[in-house]
Amino acid sequence: MIIGMNSAGSPYGVHFNPKDMVANSRLALEASEFARDAGKFEEAHSRLFRAYFQEGENIGEKNILLRLLGEIGLNTHQLSDALDRGVFSDRLKQSIVRANKYSITAVPTFIINGEDKIVGAQPYKVFKQCLDLQG
């Protein structure tokens, strides 16, 4: 699995390390929503992706999330409080409802014009073909 991922990531300078554990990403998803509201979603997403897939960090642990997202300038005290209080739990539940509506079972999944679905990290040509059919 890692060999295939490394082949796909290689042209982009991404190397995936073998996974010793699978993190429960719920807290990371909530922390990402905190970052979204702070205008730092893309930075947070990139940092968490790199931490999990390349550095082997357990992004399911609160103290690790606080450290990683503090690195990109998020207020870790506010983030910690938001995670403790479950501020973004409802937003995640709404995302699950939307995912169920489209029978999404994997990420990434892209919904095009509310109809067509592209599942997984696909080559550019797959997106182009789908969009050409829409146009």
Query: What domains sit in the chain, N to C, each tagged with a CATH number?
Result: 2-101 (3.40.30.10), 105-135 (no CATH)
64-73: list long-range contacts, CB under 8 Å, 24+ apart. 65/27, 65/28, 65/31, 69/31, 69/34, 69/35, 69/44, 71/47, 72/35, 72/40, 72/43, 72/44, 72/47, 73/40, 73/43
* End-to-end Cα, the chain, rounded Å: 35
Rounded Cα gap, residues 47 and 105, in angstroms: 24
Rounded Cα gap, residues 7 and 21, in angstroms: 21
Tokens of 6: 């490394």
- pTM score, whole prediction: 0.74
118: helix, strand or coil: strand
When pLDDT is cut at 50, 70 and 90, the band that residue 78 belongs to is: very high
Per-residue model confidence as pLDDT tens digits over 88-99:
999 999 988 988
Per-residue model confidence as pLDDT tens digits over 22-49:
778 899 999 999 999 999 999 999 999 9
Specify the higher pLDDT residue, 31 or 108: 31
Residue length of the chain: 135
